[in-house]
């Protein structure tokens, strides 16, 4: 006999709950009518019932508090058998003024066989409940004629000005000097002799002026009885000819002792106008566990009356629980790679690869250069590559297999970030005509999103290379910086990566970041390749001429390559170089290669510090000339923390330059501290100290330079293209096996 898995039973139980909830909600909405102005109907019933008699009897209850276990199940059956003409709530019939509580009390009161009237109390007023009370029952203060008696209901919540109520009360009582008078007000106007459980000052009628004016009117017009709630006890006081009764035991929290207990008040009015009353105590011993379960049940019960918003929320929670249970129980999980995948069918023939990127040449940056190297490497292996990218003003006139898309918007002072028109139909037509086998995405937004959409439409796998730490680009986004930096950027990367069939990262530290934010897709660590051979084939004469043109004689030359933008941390290096010239007597020059919207501001700062002889903003250099500029230097300096790999660092190492960089996810796996360079926290003293070492210690600089050259040899673009083909082939094999 096979044993049932307990979680499987729980799954089917949860699923059954969802089905029952949907059915019950349908019943409530299609078979139970809405209700409005119920007091109108109740008053009509009372008038018809007492039309031929002057004598009657009624019950007064207080603090029902939406109780099901006590009021609905215990007290209502007693009231229905007590030969009463109607019921009055002295206040707090609901536990709060929410729509669900009003719906629930209406359902409870519908079990009564007699008419009922509600006093507008503190609980009815809470959570904008005054509007619901008015809509569902009627005015907040009103009066009713019952036989030869007048029942008067006042508003003690402050919703209605007390001055107006006192004037209305006096006028009303002056018109009927000989009738019996019963007054109902939620807050007690007198403090009882015994202290109620959890009693607070705000439980009594306020302000003092209202209380004094009301007591004077009660005494002047000989009001017979005044009923209040708001306290969890029974208390009776007499002042003049008026009896004041506080009743608070119809279902709310009581202590079940001599002061606080479950009860209701029975009031009898004879045909001769004689009034008598009696306390009807209910012996209800409810276990604390049962009381807790009742509260839980009421929470669920009341949700059915709130409307579709909360109901959908409730059902959604149960659906999520069901899905989680289903995936935990029935979906097989294998946390190891599928070693049975055979990529050989795709490795043995040319592939058709489409790439989507938000920037590309002639825009100079790490992503465009990486894509261009990958394209050249794949094409040298016989693959066909189609690139979908933005249009630029100075782009090549003739290009093969490049779809240039005009921009809707360009951001940044030099318009380096472009939002291409992804709605153009020709993008889809050209992509379909190309017939890609796999789509490679280089950004998680805009053109990247279009590429993912097209991959799903064409039913081909999509891989995504995580190039850029988006949180460092908050200044380009029209959202609060902290919101984008700390939440949106990470969530965007996670959601996009999990929709892809594979994710490529350049370093192991970047892979760790993706796993920490919740990326579940297969991740491949694949550093971007560099044209290693090109950096070895530099003409010494070209380097000499470049030194002469720059006026460099015997200085040590530091080189850096970066876009002049906020996220590249150029200001940090300017301050450090300013400090370095004070620390060391050795002559040096710092050449900052790159262009960007911060050029003018950075130059102004250099001028203000008097660093013109030490710090030079070179501007942009054609990619074909970069190898010569690297060989001009003696060491490479870097401070950006937005890199995922730091490709320019590998290029510098390929030219034989040791590196000093600020430690970050893109630097950690490339720079080996004390071997091919130094990596430090973003602390100027430490960074400057290691730069000074390379400036003053020629032997150390030579040793690290040799190691850097050796290290960079493993990152050739040829090997990069071969490794990428392997990733494509594995992804295609996994996709075809599904």
The alpha helices in 646-683, defined as continuous H runs, are 647-654, 665-668
The reply to whether 537-715 shares the fold of 344-525 is yes
Domain 34-286 has CATH 3.60.21.10: yes
Q: Is the pLDDT of residue 442 over 90?
A: yes
pLDDT for 645? 66
Class of residue 178 by CB neighbours under 10 A (exposed 0-12, middle 13-18, buried 19+): exposed
Quick check: 662 and 569 in contact, CB under 8 A? yes
551 pLDDT above the threshold of 80: yes
Minimal CA–CA distance to 500: which of 738, 346, 731, 736? 731
Residue 406 pLDDT > 50: yes
What is the b/e burial string over 41-59, where b = at least 16 CB atoms within 10 angstroms of the residue's CB?
A: ebbeebeebbeeeeebbbb
pLDDT at residue 416 tops 80? no
Which of 294-303, 511-520, 577-586 ranks highest by mean pLDDT? Answer: 577-586
- Could you tell me where the DSSP H helices lie in 252-401? 288-303, 308-329, 344-347, 366-380
More confident residue, 130 or 35: 130
Bridge partners, residue 418, by sequence: 410
SS3 per residue for 92-151: CCCCCCCHHHHHHHHHHHCCCCCCEEECCCHHHHCCCHHHHHHHHCCCCCEEEEECCEEE
Q: Which of 220, 226, 221 is nearest to 238 (CA)?
A: 226
How many percent of the chain have pLDDT more than 90?
Answer: 60
Phi, psi for 18 (deg, rounded to 5): -60, -45
What is the CATH number that goes with domain 344-525?
3.40.50.2000
Residue 25: the pLDDT is: 59
Asked if residue 78 lies in contact with residue 250, where contact means CB atoms within 8 angstroms, the answer is no
pLDDT of residue 1: 35
Q: Where along the chain do its domains lie?
A: 34-286, 344-525, 537-715
- pLDDT band (50, 70, 90) for residue 332: low
Going along 489-587, which residue ranges are E strands? 502-505, 523-525, 556-561
Would you say residue 310 has pLDDT above 60? no
Q: Is the pLDDT of residue 192 over 80?
A: yes
* Confidence band of 128 (pLDDT split at 50, 70, 90): confident
Please compute the mean of the pLDDT values over residues 711-737 and round it to a whole number: 90
| pLDDT tops 80 at residue 307 | no
Question: Are the C-beta atoms of 284 and 313 separated by less than 8 Å?
Answer: no
pLDDT tier for residue 57 given thresholds of 50, 70 and 90: very high
- Cα 220 to Cα 239: distance, rounded to the nearest angstrom: 12
- In the prediction, which pLDDT does 3 show? 47
Mean pLDDT (the chain, rounded): 87
Mean pLDDT of the 75-104 span: 92
Mean pLDDT of 184-207: 90
Beta strands at 263-269 and 56-61: parallel, antiparallel or unpaired: antiparallel
What single-letter DSSP state applies at residue 716? B
CATH architecture of the region 537-715? 3-Layer(aba) Sandwich (3.40)
Instruction: Tell me the pLDDT tens digit for each residue of 471-519.
Output: 555 455 555 557 656 668 888 999 999 999 999 998 888 888 899 999 9
């Amino acid at each position: 006999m096979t044993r049932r898995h307990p979680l499987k039973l729980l799954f089917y139980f949860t699923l059954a709950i969802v089905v029952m909830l949907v059915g019950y909600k349908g019943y409530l909405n299609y078979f139970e009518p809405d209700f409005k102005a119920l007091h109108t109907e109740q008053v009509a019933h009372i008038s018809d019932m007492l039309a031929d008699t002057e004598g009657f009897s009624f019950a007064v209850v207080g603090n029902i508090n939406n109780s099901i276990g006590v009021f609905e199940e215990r007290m209502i059956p007693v009231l229905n058998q007590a030969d009463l003409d109607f019921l009055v709530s002295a206040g707090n019939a609901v536990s709060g003024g929410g729509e669900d509580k009003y719906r629930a009390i209406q359902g409870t009161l519908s079990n009564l066989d007699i008419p009922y009237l509600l006093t507008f109390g503190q609980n009815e007023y809470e959570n904008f409940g005054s509007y619901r009370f008015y809509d569902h029952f009627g005015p907040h203060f009103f009066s009713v004629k019952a036989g030869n008696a007048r029942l008067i209901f006042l508003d003690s919540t402050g919703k209605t000005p007390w001055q107006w109520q006192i004037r209305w009360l006096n006028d009303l009582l002056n018109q009927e000097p000989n009738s019996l008078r019963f007054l109902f007000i939620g807050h007690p106007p007198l403090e009882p002799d015994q202290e109620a459980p959890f009693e607070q000052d705000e439980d009594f009628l306020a302000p003092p002026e209202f209380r004094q004016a009301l007591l004077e009117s009660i005494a002047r017009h000989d009001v017979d009885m005044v009923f209040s709630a708001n306290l969890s006890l029974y208390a009776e006081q007499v002042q003049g000819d008026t009896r004041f009764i506080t009743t608070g035991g119809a279902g709310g929290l009581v202590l079940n002792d001599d002061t606080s207990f479950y009860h209701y008040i029975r009031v009898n009015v004879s045909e001769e106008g004689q009034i008598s009353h009696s306390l009807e105590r209910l012996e209800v011993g409810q276990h604390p566990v049962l009381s807790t379960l009742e509260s839980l049940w009421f929470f669920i019960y009341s949700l059915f009356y709130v409307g579709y918003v909360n109901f959908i929320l409730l059902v959604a929670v149960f659906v999520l629980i069901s899905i989680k249970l289903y995936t935990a129980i029935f979906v097989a999980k294998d946390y190891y790679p599928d070693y049975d995948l055979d990529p050989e069918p795709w490795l043995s023939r040319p592939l058709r690869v489409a790439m989507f990127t938000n920037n590309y040449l002639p825009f100079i940056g790490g992503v465009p250069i990486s894509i261009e190297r990958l394209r050249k490497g794949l094409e040298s292996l016989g693959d066909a590559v189609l690139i979908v990218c933005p249009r630029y003003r100075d782009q090549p006139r003739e290009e093969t297999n490049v779809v240039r898309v005009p921009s809707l918007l360009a951001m940044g002072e030099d318009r380096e970030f472009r939002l291409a028109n992804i709605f153009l139909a020709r993008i889809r037509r050209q992509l379909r005509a190309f017939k890609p086998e796999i789509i490679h995405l280089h950004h998680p937004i805009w053109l990247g999103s279009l590429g993912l959409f097209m991959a799903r439409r064409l039913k081909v796998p999509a891989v995504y290379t995580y190039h850029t730490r988006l949180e460092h680009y908050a200044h380009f986004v029209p959202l609060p910086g902290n919101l984008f930096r700390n939440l949106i950027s990470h969530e965007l990367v996670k959601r996009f990566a999990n929709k892809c069939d594979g994710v490529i990262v350049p370093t192991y530290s970047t892979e760790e970041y993706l796993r920490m934010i919740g990326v579940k897709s297969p991740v491949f660590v694949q550093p971007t390749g560099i044209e290693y051979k090109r950096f070895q084939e530099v003409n010494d004469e070209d380097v000499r001429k470049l030194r002469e043109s720059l006026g460099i004689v015997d200085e040590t030359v530091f080189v850096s390559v970066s876009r002049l933008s906020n996220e590249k941390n150029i200001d940090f290096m300017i301050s450090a170089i300013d400090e370095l010239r004070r620390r060391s007597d050795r002559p040096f020059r710092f050449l900052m290669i790159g262009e960007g919207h911060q050029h003018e501001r950075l130059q102004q700062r250099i001028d203000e510090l008097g660093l013109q002889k030490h710090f030079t903003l070179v501007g942009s250099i054609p990619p074909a000339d970069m190898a010569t500029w690297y060989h001009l230097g003696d060491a490479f300096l870097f401070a950006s923390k937005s890199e995922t790999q730091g490709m320019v660092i590998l290029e510098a190492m390929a030219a034989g330059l040791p590196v000093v960089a600020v430690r970050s996810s893109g630097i950690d796996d490339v720079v080996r501290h004390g071997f091919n360079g130094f990596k430090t926290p973003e602390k100027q003293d430490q960074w400057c100290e290691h730069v000074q070492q390379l400036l003053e210690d020629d032997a150390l600089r030579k040793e690290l330079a040799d190691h850097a050259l050796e290290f960079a040899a493993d990152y050739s673009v040829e090997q990069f293209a071969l490794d990428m083909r392997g990733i494509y082939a594995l992804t295609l094999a996994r996709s075809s096996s599904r």
